[in-house]
Amino acid sequence: MKNILLTFLILTVFSCQEKKKEIRSKITTEKKIEKKNEVVISVNDTISSFFTNLFVDEMQDKPDMLYLGQKENKTTVTIPTQNSIKIIGGDPFFSFFYELQLEKGDSLLIGTENIVINQSKQIEYPIFTLLNSDKNWSETNFNYLLYNYNLKSKAIVIDENKFQNNKYDLEKTYKNSIILLDSLKSNKSVSDNFYSTTKINQKIKFATSKIREAKNKNLVLEIESLGVKLNEEELLDNKEYVSFLRALILYKYFKEDKRVKNSVLFDFVNEQETFLNESAKEVLLDSYLKNIFFVEKPKFNKYLTKFQSACNNDKIKNKWNSIVDKEKTNSNKLNTANRTVGILTNLVNDDELTFEQVLAKHKGKIVLVDFWASWCAPCRKEMPFLKDLKLKFNETELKIIEISIDKDYSAWLRASKLENLSNEIDNYIISNWEKSNLYKNYNIKTIPRYLLFGKDGKIIDENAPRPSENELIELIKASI
C-alpha cells in the first residue's frame, strides 16, 4: 500500500509542481513587493464557473458567495483586508471539503483537476497556487492529496446510483492522513510546523468524529482510548480542539438529547461541575456565546452579561467588548427606529434621500434600478454584468442605481467593498424596506429585481430582464 501511495504522491505532486513552476515563471520575482492590505483571488481562464464561500470576518454570520469564471463574467476579485480571510467549499454528495486561509497580500490562483470517483462519475477538485508565497504546494493542497488517497484506498466509496449509500471509513481516513503526512515529510514536501500541526488536528478530528458517532448510535466509548488529553492548555486556541470539547460535553451529559440549544449548554457548563478546568470552561463558554450571537440573538445580551461575570480571561472579554461596540456602531448607522421609512443612504456621504429624489437627480437619462442584498446569490452573480452595462453605455445615457435591502449594515458594507461599489454615490441601502412605498408600489417580493425608467422619469419596465440577458441591452438601446 505504501508503494502505491508513494507512486501516487510522486506523480501527483510532480505534475502539479510543474504547473506551479510554469505559472510562477510568468511572474517577476526580482523585487520583493510589500504586501498590500488585500487578497487577490483569480481562476484559470479555462474555468467556466467556480463557486466558493468567503469569510472575511470572524463574526460573519453568513459567508459571502464568491462566483468566478467565464460564465460569471468575472475571473478575478480583489478583497480589501488587513487580516486573514478564509475560503471554504466542497460537496457533501461526494464527501469532499476544503478550507484555505489566506493572509493579507496573498495572490491565489485556482485551477481544477478532474478526479474519477467511480465508473460513472467524476468531479472537478480545486487546485490552489499561491503566486507570491513560499508556502509549499503540498501544504496548500493537502485536502486534495488526502481525498485522492482516500478514494484509491477505498476509505471513501461513492455509490454509483445513490448518494445516501456513500461509504466513509473514519478510522481508515484518519490513518491515511497520517501515512500521507509521513510521506510528505520524508519527501520534504511540507514544513515541520505544518506536519506537527496537521497531525494533531487530524487526531482531534478523528476523536471528535468517534464521539459524535458514539452519541448518535448510543455506543459506549472510552474517551482515553482516543489519545486526546482533556484540558490541554496549549490546544485551547485550536478550533478543532474546542469542537472536540463541545462534542464531549454533549456525549457525557446530553446523551438522550438530539438537539440542544447553545444557551442550554452555556448554562450547564457555567453552573455545573464538569471535567473542564477553568481555562477550558472559559473557552467553551466563549464558543457557546458566539453561537448564541448568531442563532439565539434575542438572548445574546443576557448571556453576554453572564459571560462577563464568569470569565476572568481579559483577552476574550476585550474581544467581546470590541464586537459589541462594532455592533452598536453598525446598528446606529441603520437604526430602523430613527430612520424614516424608505430612506436611502450611501457610503460616500451618508446623505438621506427618498427614492424620488434619487430618481430626479438623473432625469434625462435611462435609469436602471437594481434591488439586491449581500445574501442573495443570484443578485451577486449579476454584478459583473451590471459593470459591463456601465462600459457599454456612457453616463449621459444610462445610470445604474443599486439599492440593497440588507438588514445588517456590516454585511452590506462588506459586500459593497467586494463588488467595488463602496465608492459609488448611487450605491444605497434602504431603511425599513418592507414598510416603504417603493416596496409596495412595485410589489417587490423577490430579488434580484430590476426597474427600468425612461428619460422622463416614468417607468418603462417594472420587471426588466436581468443584466446577463441580451434583452435588457436591446431594451435600453430602444429607450435611448
The DSSP code sequence of 352-389 is -B-HHHHHHHTTTSEEEEEEE-TT-HHHHHHHHHHHHH
Q: Which residues of 361-386 are buried (b: 16+ CB within 10 A; e: fewer)?
A: ebeebbbbbbbbbbbbeebbbbbbbb
Q: Checking phi first, is residue 365 left (phi over 0); if not, alpha (psi -120 to 50) or beta?
A: beta
Residue indicated by cell numbers 467556466: 48
Q: Sign of dihedral through CA atoms 303, 304, 308, 309?
A: negative
Residue 470 has pLDDT above 50, yes or no: yes
Return the pLDDT at 32.
Answer: 52
Confidence of residue 132 (pLDDT cuts 50, 70, 90): confident
Cell of 303: 448571556
| Helix H or strand E segment including 268 | helix 262-271
Average pLDDT along the chain: 89
Confidence (pTM): 0.82
- Mean pLDDT score, 14-40: 57
Radius of gyration of the chain (CA): 26
**pLDDT tens digits along 66-112:** 999 999 999 999 998 888 999 999 998 899 999 999 999 999 999 99
Question: What tens digit of pLDDT does each residue of 359-390 get?
Answer: 999 999 999 999 999 999 999 999 999 999 99
The domains of the chain are located at 1-27+35-190, 344-479
Task: Provide mean pLDDT across the span 27-34.
Answer: 49
Burial class (CB in 10 A: 0-12, 13-18, 19+), 317: middle
- In the structure grid, which three cell numbers stand for residue 2, read together? 505504501
Q: Grid cell 478550507 — which residue?
A: 99
At 4, which amino acid appears? I
For the cut 80, the answer to whether the pLDDT of residue 262 exceeds it is yes
Distances 322 to 335, 369, 397, 421 between C-alpha atoms, Å: 19, 36, 46, 26
Percent share of the chain, pLDDT over 70: 91
- Retrieve residue 156's grid coordinates: 471513501
Residue 208 pLDDT exceeds 80 = yes
Instruction: State how far the Cα of 334 lies from the Cα of 401, in Å rounded to an integer.
Output: 19
Which range, of 124-138, 150-164, 417-431, averages the lowest pLDDT?
Answer: 150-164
Could you report the per-residue pLDDT of 320-361, keeping only the tens digit for each?
A: 999 999 888 877 776 644 556 788 989 888 778 999 999 999
CATH 3.40.30.10 applies to domain 344-479 = yes
pLDDT tens per residue, range 263-304: 999 999 999 999 999 999 999 999 999 999 999 999 999 999
Query: Do 110 and 68 touch, CB atoms closer than 8 A?
Result: yes
Lowest mean pLDDT among 126-130, 309-313, 332-336, 374-378: 332-336
- Tell me what pLDDT residue 407 has: 87
